[in-house]
Amino acid sequence: MKFNNKFALVIAASIIPGLWIVNGTGLITLPGEIIGATIAAFTLIVQYYFRKKVGESSNGI
């Protein structure tokens, strides 16, 4: 597994949702702009890793 894949997994699976959880519990208060930026980053990471690659069929076979 390449470093970029590991890094994206750590960011998408722990850091970004962790920020949302800590903000939701009230331990820290993040501005709306930061929350919006984390949503955008999370969405881009997920879209990148679950996009349809060239040559893949639409049914996944």
Please state the pTM of the whole predicted model.
Answer: 0.72
* Number of domains, the chain: 1
23-50: average pLDDT: 94
The pLDDT score that the predictor gives to residue 26 is: 96
**Does some domain include residue 24?**
yes
Domain hosting residue 11, numbered range: 3-49
**Does some domain include residue 36?**
yes
Give residue 61's pLDDT band: very low, low, confident or very high (50, 70, 90): low
Residue range 5-31, pLDDT digits in tens: 888 888 888 999 999 999 999 999 999
**Does some domain include residue 58?**
no
**Does some domain include residue 28?**
yes
From the centroid of its chain, how far is CA 51? 14
Residue 24 CB burial class (10 angstroms; 0-12, 13-18, ≥19): exposed
Q: Is the confidence at residue 58, as pLDDT, over 90?
A: no
